[in-house]
Chains A and B, each alone.
Chain A
Amino acid sequence: MTEYLLSLLIFLPLLAGVIVLLLPKNLEPYSKHLAIVVSTFTLIISLYVFKSFDPALAGYQFLEEKPWINLDLGNFGIFSIKYILGVDGISLPMVLLAGIVLLAGAISSTSIKRRPKAFYAFFLLLSSSIYGCFISLDFFLFFLFFEFMLLPMYFLIGIWGGDRREYAAMKFIIYTLVGSVFILVVMLAMGLSVNAPAIDGRTVFTFDFRLLGNASNYISGSVLDQSSSISWLRWPVRTILFILLLIGFGIKLPIVPFHTWLPDAHVEAPTSISVVLAGILLKVGGYGFIRIGMGFFPQEAIDFAPWIAGLGVLSIIYGAFNAIAQDDLKKLIAYSSVSHMGFVFLGFAAFNSEGINGGIYQMFSHGILSSMLFLVVGVIYDRTHNRLIHNYRGLAGKMPLYTGAVIIAFFGSLGLPGISGFIGEFFSLLGGFSSPYLSKWFPSIAVLGIILSAVYLLWALQRMFFGKFWVNRDLKDQMDDLTLRESILLYSLGFLAILFGVWPALLFDVTNNGVDVFLKTIGL
């Protein structure tokens, strides 16, 4: 049974999606129950995988390998595409995070009233492809899932979104497709440059992640051979392809200046979709960048370390400045995502254990905290259908439970020790300071981000929650405190944020070895 666990993560939601779609009209209300049950199951599976993963072993675990496509290209050789699944210390936290965030998303989706059947079918399809992205070990398979995430997302925003949903959905898909094209180019180039062990004396081209990382597998003289001198406009092709990856995954992360789809998508998306989008979808960018960008182009990545860190720092500061200027709470949080994901790039660019572990931790912690933040916005939006900060005042007096959750989410997000955000930021910064590849200026400027995050979050907190209670008279005055469902959801996430804030070894024990192996493979 355990050897198919990872496949289960992909096919269980997929199957459930089909079932939901086939549900007769009178059973339609049960689609949400099915979605929640399936999400719970996948969370349990990912927890089990997390628990039984042995961090002491190097390499991938829970491997599943099946031949899939063997494309015979005649004299040219054989194109071998495999169905390979597996997890290591870098992808495992993301799998766990996906489990948590998708369950939170499924539960918070219950407020969706319009066409629940279609909604949950898309949602489950999305879940399936998200898991697929993190566990596939074949570039082709990865790309398939990577692409396939976009379509359900497109419809989820485009149909259940706000007033400008079509614009936002369109922008989202075009932006990310452009990124995908870049990645596609790299994928094809890699596929044509890497040799698997020959079959019957014929060349076998492979997309296997395990082979792509090893320089000796590259066909000498091919485009991506590390010693190749093929260049285009006097730039080595490898460098160009690395830049394509940087942009491709940078769009997803998102990194300034490729971030403008994010605020629009978030503002228009329904709460639960924002949760999934910020909580897990953005992490695909970070994960892809470290696995593919840094893993297969180590020398280029190291050469570009100041640029990567620079983009990270730019995002931190730029995102924070934008967040300060927002009056729409959801937009504020969307920009804060841009700012916080900047720490991921900063940490990665450090190319040391502290930095990369810190970057991964930051992704995980941001997943939990941003889910909480978007749920927080959802609470207020469900009640009044208005998210403008200046319409609210003194909610703390009227909604103490809500305020408690907001304080955990906000302070966690601004990096208060004891909550997970601090760990990610601290170790990313520490990595930046001790990295031989980066100037001390990068982390020093990034530190300004922690001041700015305090400014925008606490200022919003002060304006909305403190003072005398008042809600704009045009809004329905139904400011009741959290319902049981909302409290459970918010406080469980809050509990996780605190748990991972005081006990980071829970995650670091898993990532540390993965990162060690990773650094060794890329020759550091």
Chain B
Amino acid sequence: MPTDQVIFITLLAYLAGFGVLIIGRKNLSIQLGNVLSISINTLGLLLSFWLISRFRETEIFQYKWVKLGQHEFNFTLLINKLSLLMLALVQGIALLVQVFSLKYMKGDPRYLNYFSYLNLFVFSMLGLVVSGNLLFIFFFWELVGFCSYLLIGFWFEKQSATNASLKAFIVNRIGDAGFLIGIGLVFFLFNTLDLELLSNSQSTAAPGVLTLTALMLFMGCVGKSAQFPLQIWLPDAMEGPTPVSALIHAATMVAAGIFLLARIDFLITPDAGLIIALIGAVTALLAAYSAIFQFDIKKVLAYSTVSQLGLMVMGMGVGAANASLFHLFTHAFFKAGLFLIAGAIIHYAHHEQDMRKMGGLLYKKPWLAFSYIICGAALAGLPFTSGFLSKDALILSAFNWSAEQANPMTILIPLMGIIASVMTAFYVTRQFVLIFLSSSKEKIKWSKPDLMEWVIFPLVICSFWLLHSNNPLDFVTSNFSTHFEIKHQENHWVAYSLLAAAILSIGYSYYRFQILKKDLPQNIWSNLGLNHYYLDHFYVKRVACALVGKFQPNPLDNVNTEEHISSGLTDLVQTIDQKAVDGLVNKIGTGQKNFAKGLTQFDRKGVDGFVGLLTSTIIFLGNVGSYIDSKLVDGLIGWISRLVSNIGEGLRKVQSGRLQSYLMVLILIFVALLIFLAIF
């Protein structure tokens, strides 16, 4: 079977899954829905393995979509190693998440809605990874954002959940607006949006314009992959069901930004690369710092995701695309694993997410603890895990890149990455201590591992080095590197120093939280971290309020209605619109009317207002020739003014019940006009 057919079967299966589940959300039995959803996913996964096994060379398929003028906008399938890798990765994680959700979402009143949204998400995400032109990447890019919106706000009765989904969508839109400008500039410069054609074409445009274009496209990544300064939506997105966080907001959708950069890496100029790397490194550092101070089990992981995405973006900026993709790949497994562990704990703890109220789970849930140790170690970048390989590749690439740069300040970029990685080791340990070691506060009972815990098992396996490399300490000989070449890097001492620092930081963290039982201090630095530098506060309280005005809960109501207490820019515009623009119109209108009243006093007698108007209109139209000769301006004013007052008059009469006759007259005149003029 040709590759494109396989891809279409996969895509259509998910779309059909979405359709059937959403239409049958009330009538379909839950078991049937489960079977349907899981089997579609399994089928898709098997097909993607099959595609990988028979992969020979990059294939491109074009389907006519739209042709405008000389430009064709086709739907392009681009099937290369990267697409296939993502195809398998997305569906693999999705399958585990779906199985996990069987138990996690059990009893939810909108259970099948949930699975239908998941199907739609996988459809959109797969569409994104196989698209071979920017138009369709954007197409599916927005669709995954839409699914994310639906799933973050899945429990829409919760105010915080709907706030989070709104914020996620709007913040993403800001990024997408930039992305759209980037697409427009690409089309302007190269006259095509097809990636294959783009990669072969040379532009004569000034390097500044190319850099701007690349940065605009990067804006999309800033939104979707939660990079500074738009990272604020991702921690809030944790309001969604935890399996969703694992799938969408850790493993796949947020990585779409990285994927996009990998697709367009030939468009990234060195200057743009520098800025991209800088933003990535800054994000990594800021988010890692914030992760240290969080108490919510999911928020730690959310900030950690932002931080890891920052590292990947940094890698993309320094031109180490394959190292970034490697990290994307390994990160997907261990971070999905960590989220599912968190989900399981939240489930057992009856939706308690505060880590201070947890503890002592090591003996009650030893399997979860073991999984956490492996996945956490991978996140912290310890040897014998997948994270070690990919993180080393990233940091070393960044370091060696900066060594080649003329500007010595570029060393700051890998340095920030290194500090972020050391902090990662610190907060992972803190989280482990708080959840699993510190004295028990939760009444969670020991039980045999159930479905949810077994599902984590494959992710734990994938977090070991074995899947990725025979040699646990060398990324150059990794399996990944044989397909996506990662160059050998000098200066291995950097990696070893990083490892040493990470181990020290783990030791310190363990000592502080487990032995000394000393929590973090409450001061401005911790508050800064906890509230993520008040960035969110700034956006919501300052920017948003400047735009739409302030709202506060209405104290008189027992429901959550909000009262508008101060106005913002939009209210100002609205006032201008009503008072100035419309006010002017009304002013003119009233003036005209008064003027007209005076004028029409003369010919009021004997002329029924409305019929008079129509007659004069006909005369007016009939005497077109002579009209030109007569003074245009006078005629115009008289006409308008008569009209104004006559219509007012007419309307009053209509109100008094003579409507039918007017209507008849109207139609008769219309018909008469047609006939009369025809004969004439």
- Compute how far the CA of A143 lies from the CA of B233 in the bound complex, rounded to whole angstroms: 53
Known contacts A260-B581, A450-B176; is-contact A417 B561 (Cβ 8 Å): no
Contacts of A79 in B (CB 8 A): 624-625
Of A327, A357, A430, A508, the contact of B187 (CB 8 Å cutoff): A430
Q: Are the C-beta atoms of B180 and A429 separated by less than 8 Å?
A: yes
**CA gap between A223 and B313 in the complex, in Å:** 63
State whether B559 touches A69 (Cβ < 8 A): no
Judge whether A504 and B667 touch: CB under 8 Å. no
Interface residues of A in 123-172 (CB under 8 A from B): 125, 144, 148, 151-152, 154-155, 158-159, 166, 169-171
In the complex, A116 has a CB within 8 A of chain B: no
- Whether a CB of chain A sits under 8 angstroms from the CB of B560 is yes
Interfacial chain B residues near A444, Cβ < 8 Å: 181, 184
Task: Spot the interface stretch: B167-175, B262-270, B482-490.
Answer: B167-175
B138-173 interface mask toward A, CB cutoff 8 Å, 1 = contact, 0 = none? Answer: 111011001001000100110100110110011001
Among the listed stretches B249-257, B494-502, B647-655, which one makes contact with chain A, having 4 or more residues with CB under 8 Å of it? B647-655
| Residue contact A447 to B166, C-beta cutoff 8 Å | no
Residue from A173, A352, A396, A447 whose CB has the most chain B CB atoms within 10 Å: A447
Is A475 part of the binding interface, using a Cβ–Cβ cutoff of 8 Å? Answer: no
Main secondary structure of the interface of B (DSSP, over half): helix
How many cross-chain pairs have Cβ atoms below 8 Å apart between A and B? 221
The answer to whether residues A454 and B173 also contact, given A170-B647, A433-B187 and a CB cut-off of 8 A, is yes
- In the complex formed, the residue of B with least CB distance to A70 is B680
Q: A91-99, A227-235, A455-463, A479-487: which one contacts chain B?
A: A455-463
List of B residues within 8 angstroms of A261 by Cβ: 585
Inter-chain contact A467/B180, CB cutoff 8 Å: no
Closest B residue by C-beta to A178: B640
Point out the residue from B169, B184, B191, B647 that lies within 8 Å of A454, measured CB to CB: B169
Q: Which of B556-595 contact A (CB under 8 A)?
A: 559-562, 564, 569-571, 573-574, 577, 581-582, 585, 589, 592
Q: Which residues of A contact B180 (CB under 8 A)?
A: 426, 429, 447, 450
Q: Is the CB of B153 within 8 A of A417?
A: no
Rounded to whole angstroms, the CA-CA distance of A121 and B581 in the bound complex is 35
Please choose the segment from A57-65, A317-325, A369-377 that sits at the chain B interface, where 4 or more of its residues have CB less than 8 A away. Answer: A317-325
Give Cα A115–Cα B654 distance, bound, in whole angstroms: 13
- In the complex, the answer to whether B647 meets A17 with C-beta atoms within 8 Å is no
Counting CB contacts under 8 A, is A188 at the interface? yes
Q: Pick the interface stretch among B197-205, B354-362, B658-666.
A: B658-666
Judged by a CB distance under 8 angstroms, whether B188 is at the interface is: yes
Q: Smallest CB–CB gap between A265 and chain B, Å? A: 12
- B640–A177 CB distance below 8 A: yes
Asked if B177 and A324 make an inter-chain contact with CB atoms under 8 angstroms apart, the answer reads no
Give Cα distance in the complex from A57 to B398, angstroms. Answer: 59
Cα of A21 to Cα of B667 in the assembled complex, Å = 10
Docked CA distance A69–B146 (Å): 57
Question: Which of B165, B183, B666 counts the most A-chain CB atoms under 10 A from its CB?
Answer: B666
B67 an interface residue at 8 Å Cβ cutoff? yes
Given known contacts A21-B667, A73-B625, A169 and B651 CB-to-CB distance under 8 angstroms: yes
Whether the pair A396, B65 counts as a contact (CB closer than 8 A) is no
| A125 in contact with B569 (CB, 8 Å) | no
Chain A residue numbers with a CB within 8 Å of B143 are 416-418
Which residues of A, 77-134, contact B by the 8 Å Cβ criterion? 79, 81, 83, 115, 118, 121-122, 125
For residue B139, which residues in chain A have a CB less than 8 angstroms away from its CB?
417-418, 422
| Option from A14, A121, A443 in Cβ contact (under 8 Å) with B181 | A443
Given contacts A125-B667, A443-B184, contact A448 B177 (CB under 8 A): yes
Indicate if the CB atoms of B659 and A450 lie closer than 8 Å. Answer: no
Bound-state Cα–Cα, A370 to B341, Å: 46
Q: Which residues does chain B contribute within 8 Å of A426, judged by CB atoms?
A: 135, 180
Of B68-76, B273-281, B303-311, B411-419, the one contacting chain A is: B68-76
- Report A399 CB to chain B, min CB distance, Å: 13
Known A21-B667, A83-B678, A516-B69; 13 more pairs at CB < 8 Å:
A68-B677, A71-B680, A76-B625, A121-B663, A148-B670, A170-B647, A417-B142, A426-B135, A430-B183, A433-B181, A447-B184, A468-B560, A505-B65
17 residue pairs A–B, Cβ–Cβ below 8 Å: A68-B677, A71-B625, A115-B659, A151-B666, A159-B659, A166-B651, A174-B592, A321-B573, A353-B70, A417-B138, A430-B187, A448-B177, A450-B180, A451-B170, A455-B547, A505-B65, A508-B67
Which 8 pairs, one residue from A and one from B, show the smallest C-beta to C-beta distance?
A353-B69, A433-B184, A325-B574, A466-B162, A417-B139, A325-B570, A324-B570, A260-B582
| Chain B residues at the A interface, C-beta cutoff of 8 Å | 64-71, 135, 138-140, 142-143, 146, 149, 153, 156-157, 159, 162-163, 165-166, 169-170, 173-174, 176-177, 180-181, 183-185, 187-188, 191, 547-548, 559-562, 564, 569-571, 573-574, 577, 581-582, 585, 589, 592, 624-625, 627-628, 632, 636, 639-640, 643-644, 647-648, 651, 654-655, 659-660, 663-664, 666-667, 670-671, 673, 677-678, 680
